[in-house]
Structure 1
Amino acid sequence: MQTKETIVFPDYPNSLLGAISSVLRHYGVQDTHATLPELDQALQKGPRNVVFMIFDGLGVDMLEHNLAPDDFFRRHLRRELTSVYPSTTAAATTTYNSGLSPLEHGSLGWSLYFKEYCRCIDIFPNQDSFSGEEIAGGRANDRFLSYKTIYERIAEAGSGVHTYNLQPSFIPFREGPHTLVHADDVQTYCDTIAEICRNGQQNFIYAYWFEPDSTMHKQGCYTDGIKEMVRRFSAQVEAMCAQLEDTLLIVSADHGLRNVEPQPVYLNEIEELAECLLLPPSMDARAASLFVRPDRKADFPALFQKHLGADFLLLTREEAFARQLFGPGQPHPKSLDFVGDFVACAVGDRYLKYRTPNAPDKGHLYFGHHAGLTAPEMVIPLILCEMP
């Protein structure tokens, strides 16, 4: 087991929320969140094209481990930002797509307990978190966690910019005032972006790619395959930029990852903790929302510290909201539902799971993971490249 690492809390004025807020402010959206001065300055030059590329899991740690200082991504690294919390795709990409903090949009993690269904639901695939059963009656995410997209907000501001959303084909289609483009490899992304930027219009292009996150979950963060992948992405984006004019390129991530112990900690197998819980843990494997029996709240922190204190920081619900762990703003009603009596924030190399009687098996192991408060998970890049 690794020792407890330096804790990096989200710094929302200097986070990915600040990055998307800069873009919204540039296109005339009235937004109350702090923006990033470096990005504001680049946008004030008035580039005809603004391209915002997100590589899932591409934290600063990944750049430093896999790229030489003179490789494109590192050469154009303007500064470091933090992710939101939890540092996980469901929370972070929803912030990118809405311009809202996790507190405001409510998508606090991969698996959330919906009282309306009396079950934990994996919100992106819309399935029961334990049985894998599809949730009937439409997507719970759309029904209870809908939001106005950045494309809708930009259109309402009347800037006249044409907006595009590039995403993998497996992501469900969402209609709006933007042009949706599906592509299934980064080279196609780059070719498509270059083509759009030559159309003579004013364009904002947001492009999300699901790697290297997916492979790091399965293989770990520091394999030869990951190194080759990150180097290839950097080279492909550099070649794309050589074709562009009057364009600002922004590259960042939703979060980073770190290596973890592949075998999870099953909370149901720790009897002293399991008997304290009202519900199975929810939210994320390294950012667990814990609902505790009223008669056990007083002794739960000491028991948790005994079993998991070396790898998790336990915050009370009140502490989490007081330190704005999930961000600033007006809380979404579901955010108040989803946060339990305690939040277990990973600061070591373990992750949590829970096995119910209706779960088909223990599931696959993870060698890399995220959603915790360690630097590899929390610190992401702001890469800027200006093509006059």
Structure 2
Amino acid sequence: MHLSSLNLPTAYWPDYAGNSLLNLMSTLSRELTGPALGHAPLSHPLLDGIGRRRHVAMILIDGLGEAQLDRLGAGGWLHAAPRTVIDSVFPPTTAAAVTTILTGRSPAEHGLIGWHQLHGEEIIAPLPLYVRHPAASPSMPEALAASLYAAPPLFDRLDRSATLLMPDFICDSPCSGHHGGQAARLPYRDFDDAFAQLTARLAQAEPTFQYLYLPQLDTLMHERGPTSVEAAALFAELEAHLVRLAEHASRHDAAIVITADHGFVHAPAEQWIDIDRIAPLAELLIRPLSGETRLAYCHLQPGSIERFMALAQAHVGHACWPVESCRLLEAGVFGPGSPHPELARRCGDVTLIAKPGWNLRDTLPGERRLQLAGVHAGVTAEEIRIPLIVLRPR
């Protein structure tokens, strides 16, 4: 099935044939004599021969889409750095995209496709690793991790020593532990600490690969919005650290690859829809929504797909596109490769894909109703297009 057959006007989809995060990881693995991942490389002069450098550092700035770089960094040093524009993965969200970076596998292969997703009979959050539904679940994070994380780590299979620098509150999480594999994981407290550690590691004599994960901008843009003055101030602070790092890296034969996992869009407060408060739709659901507020996977009563599709079009068609989930799978939106055995089940029966400006949610007993100023995971170019910046020694 071709993507055009999905009939989602204005939808923007990742280019897995050679211009996405998936393809970037294939190129980096090849350049660093890692495993052959079976996906097309991302061929660009910025990346040519990067593996010949003594050190390669990959910096992932969570949420810094190309649109955010254009707005927050216009006229600045990072905006003027050598770069191209690539695509994230689908859905453009941290669970899917960062797992692709850490494993070199597509979302179809690794199976992590949303902030919340079906796992067994539970709705879980795969990154912080908790059970959202049912509330009384006895499942423990360690047991969930053992059955949830399936794709092998990538960074510990490169031809050089690899280190992951991660915020101290996630460095030892089950998710970080699995996807770091045998590579060293080092916690950091703040920007100062993170860049001090990375600077020191790039001065080593032996070749290394360094990965620095920076979630701070993403957190702030969720809270304050992608165009807020707070986001601009935080970006300026981050940029100053990057300028100093680039000067140091150039003296130590180190190349720096900077990219993001997704972009952001503004989330107007008046354009949030509570699916659980629309009785005709809620009555057909057999479990809570999973996925994201811009992409909701709906698990339905047997035999109710056609009715749900018609009701969704009637009640929320102005705000989202109802799509049978099997059509998304047939179109390959989650990427190439052998699909995870639970992928189809995790997608549910119908997927509600939010139109620009809209968000979908439900609220379980004991939960606070979610309201964010900035969001992602939809099918706009702003959410999917991300910068790829490569700084090479002079």
TM-score, normalised on structure 2?
0.89
Alpha-carbon distance between aligned partners in 1 of 2:95 and 2:287, rounded to the nearest angstrom: 21
SS at match of 2:71: helix
CA distances 1:144-201 after superposition (whole Å, capped 9, x unpaired): 32331112332xxxx2x11110100111422633221111222322221121111111
Identity %: 27
Q: Name the structure 2 match of 1:333.
A: 341
Alpha-carbon distance between aligned partners in 1 of 2:378 and 2:87, rounded to the nearest angstrom: 12
Alpha-carbon distance between aligned partners in 1 of 2:317 and 2:31, rounded to the nearest angstrom: 44
CA distances 1:72-113 after superposition (whole Å, capped 9, x unpaired): 221125211111111111111111111000000011111112
Q: Name the structure 1 match of 2:287.
A: 279
Q: Name the structure 2 match of 1:33.
A: 39
How far did 1:377 drift?
1.1
Q: Name the structure 2 match of 1:182.
A: 187
Q: Name the structure 2 match of 1:129.
A: 132
Structure 2 unaligned residues grouped into runs of 5+: 1-7
How far did 1:336 drift?
2.4
Q: Name the structure 1 match of 2:229.
A: 224
Q: Name the structure 2 match of 1:257.
A: 264
How far did 1:135 drift?
5.2
Q: Name the structure 2 match of 1:292.
A: 300
Structure 1 unaligned residues grouped into runs of 5+: none
Alpha-carbon distance between aligned partners in 1 of 2:367 and 2:148, rounded to the nearest angstrom: 29
The answer to whether structure 1 residue 324 and structure 2 residue 327 are counterparts is: no
Q: Which amino acid aligns with 1:299?
A: R
Q: Name the structure 2 match of 1:366.
A: 372
Alpha-carbon distance between aligned partners in 2 of 1:231 and 1:247, rounded to the nearest angstrom: 23
Q: Which amino acid aligns with 2:371?
A: L
How far did 1:231 drift?
1.8
1:324–1:195: structure 2 CA closer, same or farther, 3 Å change rule?
same
**Aligned 1:297-312 pairs, distance under 5 A:** 297-312=305-320
SS at match of 1:212: helix
Alpha-carbon distance between aligned partners in 1 of 2:49 and 2:135, rounded to the nearest angstrom: 44
Q: Name the structure 1 match of 2:213.
A: 208
Q: Name the structure 2 match of 1:345.
A: 353
TM-score, normalised on structure 1?
0.91
Q: Which moved more, 1:224-233 or 1:41-50?
A: 41-50
Q: Name the structure 1 match of 2:4.
A: none
1:302–1:176: structure 2 CA closer, same or farther, 3 Å change rule?
closer
Q: Name the structure 2 match of 1:105.
A: 110
Q: Which amino acid aligns with 1:66?
A: L
Q: Name the structure 1 match of 2:255.
A: 248
Alpha-carbon distance between aligned partners in 1 of 2:38 and 2:195, rounded to the nearest angstrom: 32
Q: Which amino acid aligns with 1:163?
A: A
RMSD between aligned residues: 2.1
Paired positions, count: 375
Q: Name the structure 1 match of 2:169.
A: 170
The answer to whether structure 1 residue 148 and structure 2 residue 146 are counterparts is: no
How far did 1:230 drift?
1.1
Q: Which amino acid aligns with 1:227?
A: A
The answer to whether structure 1 residue 43 and structure 2 residue 49 are counterparts is: yes
